[in-house]
Amino acid sequence: MRVLGIETSCDETGVAVYDGERGLLAHALFSQVELHAPYGGVVPELASRDHVRRLLPLISQVLADAQLRKQDIDAVAYTAGPGLIGALLVGAAVGRSLAWAWQKPAVSVHHMEGHLLAVMLETHAPSFPFLALLVSGGHSQLVRVDGLGQYEILGDSIDDAAGEAFDKTAKLLGLGYPGGPVLARLAEQGQAGRFHFPRPMTQRPGLDFSFSGLKTFVMNTWQAQVDPDEQTRADIALAFEEAIIDTMAIKCQRALQQTGLTQLVIAGGVGANRRLRAVLTTLGTTLGVQVFYPRPLFCTDNGAMIAYAGYLRLLAGDRQDLAFYARPRWPIAEGVV
């Protein structure tokens, strides 16, 4: 079965083709970073319009790269949520329309399910069950994954998610957009030990995350500096990054010990952070736990994860009728649309 996957949940247009026998045949991604950079964040209407411009040419490109014709596609999968409603509707409308025109089945995919399963695209992949740390711009979650659609949220964000905290802190420090990757690069120049920030909610039991107070701590520290130079900025960036990563590592260790699981998957855009990968790899070695990551390209939003998740959903018998839906808010534990 060959599945065309379409991802348009936010500011990246992703398309891919996954083959059940041959694996990922082709994928393409267009990022809107340059479009939104002057505004310091994603402008939803501009994002939607750019998806309209980019999606069909990307589909043609991916089919050509895979050396396939439209009649070679067996099904279409598209992201139905969560995300920006206008952006989601572009992918859902195009995906469902193509499936109808090609007389092929269509299936809607949960965006975060795509992230959870993206690691399965790698040669070194886990088996069910496993613990997943799902960290992105809108989510910081610890999820027990027992199988397709079998997700138990063990810990969640109660305010700012990790990716959101990275972006907001970068803005406080006067860094560029997108803030998270810029801050991480700056932190590589920082001197450890000059600043120390709190590890939120690690002194109490539980697996939930809270990063808004950490962001405020950074702001107060930055504003207290007299004529700060670039090294001070880098030192603060490093202290912030260390606090975020240490917090996630502490929560991962708790979750692994509580569940007895021996596999840890890192998913979502923040999963591309090199310091996070290094710390959790060391944690896994210490605890005797296998740690798995998607390649950095598949940590951020992409069509490959949607094509693969759609493939699994289709094998499980899921199908979308002619009415298509988009859900900007959609808890992953609620199941299919």
Edge-first strand listing for the sheet containing 150-155? 150-155, 140-147, 130-135, 263-267, 290-292
Please tell me whether 36 is known to bind a ligand.
no
Please tell me whether 137 is known to bind a ligand.
yes
Tally the C-alpha atoms within 13 A of residue 112's C-alpha that lie toward its C-beta.
29
Cα-based distances in Å from 307 to 132, 230, 249, 314: 20, 43, 30, 10
Nearest to 36 by CA among 24, 28, 51, 47: 47
Please tell me whether 301 is known to bind a ligand.
yes
Pair of tokens at residue 273 = 């952070």
Task: Give the bridge partners for 134, in sequence order.
Answer: 141, 267
Please tell me whether 135 is known to bind a ligand.
yes
3-state secondary structure the chain: CEEEEEECCCCEEEEEEEECCCEEEEEEEEECHHHHHHHCCCCHHHHHHHHHHHHHHHHHHHHHHCCCCHHHCCEEEEEEECCCHHHHHHHHHHHHHHHHHHCCCEEEEEHHHHHHHHHHHCCCCCCCCEEEEEECCCCEEEEEEEECCEEEEEECECCCCHHHHHHHHHHHCCCCCCHHHHHHHHHCCCCCCCCCCCCCCCCCCCCCECCHHHHHHHHHHHHCCCCCCHHHHHHHHHHHHHHHHHHHHHHHHHHHHHHCCCEEEEECHHHHCHHHHHHHHHHHHHHCCEEECCCHHHCCCCHHHHHHHHHHHHHCCCCCCCCCCCCCCCCHHHCCC
Other Cβ atoms less than 10 A from the Cβ of 88: the count is: 29
Q: Write down the pLDDT at residue 335.
A: 65
Q: Which residue, chain included where needed, has tokens 């996954």?
A: 18
Please tell me whether 196 is known to bind a ligand.
no
Pair of tokens at residue 151 = 């997700």
Please tell me whether 111 is known to bind a ligand.
yes
Q: What is the mean pLDDT of each run of 10 residues along the chain (337 residues)?
A: 98 98 98 94 97 98 98 98 97 98 98 97 96 91 97 94 92 89 95 95 94 92 94 97 97 98 96 95 98 96 98 96 92 75
For residue 100, report the phi and psi dihedrals to the nearest 5 degrees. Answer: -65, -45
Please tell me whether 115 is known to bind a ligand.
yes
Structural domains present in the chain: 2-117+298-334 (3.30.420.40), 128-293 (3.30.420.40)
Nearest to 193 by CA among 250, 248, 238, 231: 238
What length is written for the chain? 337
Is residue 280 a contact partner of residue 291, using CB atoms and an 8 Å limit? yes
Q: Write down the pLDDT at residue 29.
A: 98
Q: Write down the pLDDT at residue 137.
A: 80
Global confidence as pTM: 0.95
Q: Write down the pLDDT at residue 109.
A: 97
Edge-first strand listing for the sheet containing 12-19? 23-31, 12-19, 2-7, 75-81, 106-110
